[in-house]
Chain A
Amino acid sequence: MKINFNVFLILFFALISVGVFAQYDITAEEIIKRADEKMRGKTNTSTMEMQIIRPTWKRSVTMKSWGRGMDYSMTYITAPAKEKGQVFMKRKTEMWNWMPSISRMIKIPASMMSQGWMGSDYSNDDILKESSIVHDYNHKIVGEEKMEGFDTYKIEMIPKEEAAVIWGKIYKWISKDDEYIQVRSEYYDEDDELIKSDFAYDFKTMDGRLIPTRIEIIPADEEGKKTVLYIKNIKFDVDLPESFFSQQKMKKIR
């Protein structure tokens, strides 16, 4: 009897620990998913300003944006004057650009994928592959750190064997306590050299969610080079059917 009870206790604790650890690992991917969902909702509509900063010049682009999940988005440029009226649309694996000044719809070709969107440090490829952070990596919590006033999980993302991603490794710091705010990211190449970092600041509550309203993307190769994204306002889970994201809509949207 006694032996049985001890065995039972051991088994019981063993099961719990396994459960706990197992839950920890599943959670890493979950955490990434939720952090992403936090910023997107099921759908979203927003106005943003993007500043492209270089050692010798600066440029600012303002835009209106609509998004549905990770697969659909549309962006309408509102300023500066020369760019105004351009519309960008992503549908799953395709990217389109409507240029009213020449009345042309252009499909972004593979050769332009690694170019920065509107000259920024966020590439067309980054935009197209936003869903890849969930599907193409194995996620693992490797620690906990305090960052920007938040308690965060440090999550290590290693690309899956056959994933078509250029990064050797990514670290993301996501806040705990059910907030799931992506506070910081670091992107490394296969030789463990830091290539790019994202930083989040200016946290505000918008449409019921606490989100960063200033995100800085900083490439590691040069001094004085960065892209700053300001979220002016954002609404979540608005009515945006899949049919909204169409070429016809691109031409009509204002």
Chain B
Amino acid sequence: MMLLKIAWRNIWRSKTRSAVVIFAITSGLVGGLFASAWMNGMANQRVVNTFSIETAHIQLHHPNFADNFDVKKTITSTEDKLEKISKMVGVKAVTSRLKVSAMAATANKNMGVVIVGINPETEKEVFGLYKKVDSTSGDFFVSKKKNAIVISKALAEELKVKIKSKIVLTFQDYNGEITGAAFKVIGMYKTDNNPWDKMHVFVRDVDLRKVVEIPKGQNHEIDVLLNDYEQASVISAAIQKKYPEILSEDWSEIQPYLSFITEYMDIYMGVFMIIILAALGFGIVNTMLMVILERTKELGMLMGIGMNKKRIFLMIMFETILLALVGAFVGEIISMFLINYFGKVGINISSLAEGLESVGYSAISYPMLEAYRYLQITILVILTGIVASIYPAIKALKLNPAEAIRTL
């Protein structure tokens, strides 16, 4: 206990010395935390963006629907299923959709698209696309007009249309006949994923059901949003068990590339954290060695007046631990401030924006870190600091008291 007090006082005796060690630990901590938060933010955003726009957490389809988007491959008794699923534990919201592949044509051009027939109210509870329609680009099914369509700005550019323009959609209906219908553009959206934008157009499910002649109670897709996306595979399995005749998939099955990327990022981060911690460790070793060297006389005196080696070792270790804790404390505060600030403001790498958006990455990323990560990284840094001090501490013990006192 006495040692602890001595150690504490020692620290504050030489402000410069302590400041240096504290800075080393703080910089390591801030560096590690901020880098993690930044990378995490980027990856997380991509993942959450995908949920919000493309996949939700779980999707249900007729098992053969994905083969060729055959209009007849539907889920039946949709209403009943929606009700039952929404009552399941962990489910936040559900919605159903129609999906029809079609040609969208204007006098200028025609493009292959996927028409998504939605129920605007429930759609908004599961998907965030409606937020991507800015106030100058119309609205997302606010007005009750019949045969309204919301397309992406990218598609609008290709087809050379704007709000109130007409687009003719041609497709094969439920009876196998080729039909078409005219839709008026009432809103335009833009996400960060250019190719996805060009493919997807949105209409009211009632309008689509009518022109494609899909019987009531049948839908092509049910989308589920959960409270915690990490529960997706468990809940998806539960839904699959409940309804064996349909196919239930979680987001990692729908977009395997997504989980591939997230895992890849994790490994990357891991390797680099190790390198940063190692660098930190060596930095601390060097600094502490210098510190010991500087205190040769003092340590020699302590040994001379009878302090035994074990206690000297402990004293130095305590000093290091205390310094590490102070450094960690300062580092935490700085990191939290930085991460919070940039978390709100965002870090902008827009010089690369064009390419990033076309692969689904946002140009502005928001650093963020889960609470457990803060703890994890902080503990690692403190441990590194402490382990790094063992060598210098041992070195201190090897000092010859007589020599030490004589040092000039």
**Complex contact flag A–B (Cβ < 8 Å):** yes
B-binding residues in A (CB < 8 A): 93-95, 108-111, 113-114, 125, 128, 159, 162-168, 187-191, 193, 195
- The stretch from B171-179, B349-357, B364-372 touching chain A is B171-179
**Please, which residues of chain A bring their CB within 8 A of the CB of B177?**
93-94
Chain A interface: which of B35-43, B99-107, B127-135, B292-300?
A: B99-107
Measured CB to CB, the nearest residue on chain B to A188 is: B107
Is the CB–CB distance between A164 and B182 below 8 Å?
A: yes
User: Do B110 and A190 have beta carbons less than 8 Å apart?
Assistant: no
Is there contact, CB below 8 Å, between B108 and A195? yes
Q: How far is the CA of A95 from the CA of B166 in the complex (A)?
A: 25
Cross-chain contact A113 with B106 (CB below 8 angstroms)? no
Question: Any chain A CB within 8 A of the CB of B112?
Answer: yes
Q: Are B170 and A162 in contact (CB under 8 A)?
A: no
Pair A113/B181 contact, Cβ less than 8 Å:
no
B31 within 8 A of A: no
Q: A93-B177, A163-B182 are in contact. Are A110 and B107 (CB under 8 A)?
A: no
* Contact of B106 with A189 in the complex, beta carbons under 8 Å: yes
Contact surface of B with A, Cβ cutoff 8 Å: 102-103, 105-108, 110, 112, 147, 160-161, 165-166, 168-172, 177-182
The answer on a CB contact under 8 Å between A114 and B106 is no
Q: CB-CB < 8 A to A193: which residues of B?
A: 107
How far is A189 from B166 in the complex, measured between Cα atoms in Å? 10
Known A-B contacts A110-B172, A191-B160; the reply to A164 vs B106 at CB < 8 A is no
B107–A166 contact, CB under 8 A? yes
Given A110-B178, A159-B182: 18 more A-B contacts, CB < 8 Å: A110-B170, A113-B178, A114-B103, A114-B105, A125-B105, A159-B166, A162-B181, A162-B182, A164-B170, A164-B182, A165-B168, A168-B107, A168-B166, A189-B107, A189-B160, A190-B107, A190-B161, A195-B107
- A189-B108, A190-B161 in contact; A110/B182 too (CB < 8 A)? no
C-alpha spacing A108/B103, complex, angstroms? 13
Closest Cβ of chain A to B195, distance in Å, is 18
B11 CB to nearest A CB, Å: 75
> A139 vs B371: C-alpha distance in the bound complex, in angstroms?
69
Contacts of B179 in A (CB 8 A): 93, 164
Q: How far is the CB of A166 from chain B (nearest CB, A)?
A: 5
Hey, which chain A residues are within 8 Å of B182, CB to CB?
A: 159, 162-165
- In contact, A164 and B181 (Cβ under 8 angstroms): yes
User: Could you tell me if A109 and B168 are in contact, using CB atoms closer than 8 angstroms?
Assistant: no
Across-interface contacts of A111 in B (CB, < 8 A) = 103, 112
Cβ A128 vs Cβ B178 within 8 A: yes
Contacting pair B178 A164 (CB below 8 A): no
CA distance A94 to B102 in the complex (A): 16
Are B170 and A113 touching (Cβ within 8 A)?
A: yes
**B170-A187 in contact (CB<8A):** no
Given A93-B179, A94-B178, A109-B178, are A162 and B105 neighbors across the interface (CB < 8 Å)?
A: no
Whether B102 and A166, one on each chain, are in contact in the complex, defined by CB atoms closer than 8 angstroms, is no
Top-9 shortest CB links A-B: A189-B107, A164-B180, A114-B110, A164-B182, A166-B107, A195-B107, A110-B170, A164-B168, A166-B168
- Chain B residues with CB under 8 Å of A110's CB are 102-103, 170-172, 178
CB atoms of B166 and A190 under 8 A apart? yes
Assembled-state Cα–Cα distance A111/B170 (Å): 8
Closest CB-CB distance, B58 to chain A, in whole Å?
Answer: 30
Give the distance in Å from the alpha carbon of A179 to the alpha carbon of B254 in the complex: 62
Closest residue of B by beta carbon distance from A168: B107
CB distance from B104 to the nearest CB of A (A): 10
B105, A166: Cβ atoms under 8 Å?
A: yes
- 7 A-B pairs with C-beta separation under 8 A: A93-B177, A94-B177, A109-B172, A128-B178, A166-B106, A168-B166, A189-B107
Instruction: Kindly list chain B residues whose C-beta atoms are within 8 Å of the C-beta of A165.
Output: 168, 182
- Note all chain B residues with C-beta closer than 8 A to A159: 166, 182
What's the minimum C-beta distance from B188 to chain A, rounded to whole angstroms?
16
Instruction: Find chain B residues with CB under 8 A from A128 CB.
Output: 178
Residues of B within 8 A of A95 (CB): 178
A94 to B172, CA, bound (A): 10
Closest B residue to A190 using CB positions: B165
A167 to chain B: closest residue by CB: B107
**A108, B182: Cα distance in complex, Å:** 21
Distance in angstroms between the alpha carbons of A162 and B166 in the assembled complex: 9
A126 → chain B closest CB, angstroms: 12
> In the complex the two chains form, what is the Cα distance from A128 to B166 in whole Å?
20
CA distance A227 to B106 in the complex (A): 21
- Least CB separation from A93: chain B residue: B177
On chain A, the residues within 8 Å of B172 by CB distance are 109-110
Bound Cα distance A159, B177 (Å) = 23
- Specify which chain B residues have a CB less than 8 angstroms from the CB of A195 in the assembled complex: 107-108
Q: Residue among B103, B165, B169 with the most chain A CB within 10 A?
A: B103
CA A128 to CA B182, docked complex, whole Å: 16
Nearest-CB residue, chain A, relative to B106:
A166
CA distance A193 to B166 in the complex (A): 15
Closest B residue to A108 by beta carbon equals B178
Partner of B178, one of A93, A187, A188: A93
Of listed B108, B161, B169, B177, residue having the most chain A CB within 10 A: B108
Which chain B residues lie closer than 8 Å to A166 at the CB level?
A: 105-107, 166, 168
Kindly list chain A residues whose C-beta atoms are within 8 Å of the C-beta of B165: 190
Q: Nearest-CB distance from B119 to chain A (Å)? A: 22
Chain B CB count within 10 A is highest, among A108, A188, A190, for A190
Q: Does A162 contact B103, Cβ atoms closer than 8 Å? A: no
Q: Please measure, in the bound complex, the distance between the C-alpha atom of A128 and the C-alpha atom of B170, giving whole angstroms.
A: 12
From A165, which residue of chain B is reached at the shortest CB distance? B168
Alpha-carbon gap, A188 to B160, bound state (A): 13
Q: Nearest chain B CB to A171's CB is how many angstroms away?
A: 14
Minimal Cβ-Cβ distance residue in B for A125 = B170
Q: Which residues of A lie under 8 Å from residue B102 when comparing CB positions?
A: 110
For the complex, give the distance between the alpha carbons of A108 and B176 in Å: 11
CB distance from B199 to the nearest CB of A (A): 14
Give chain A nearest CB distance to B158 CB in angstroms: 14
Cβ distance B157 to chain A, nearest Cβ, rounded Å = 14
Q: In whole angstroms, how far apart are the Cα atoms of A60 and B180 in the complex? A: 31
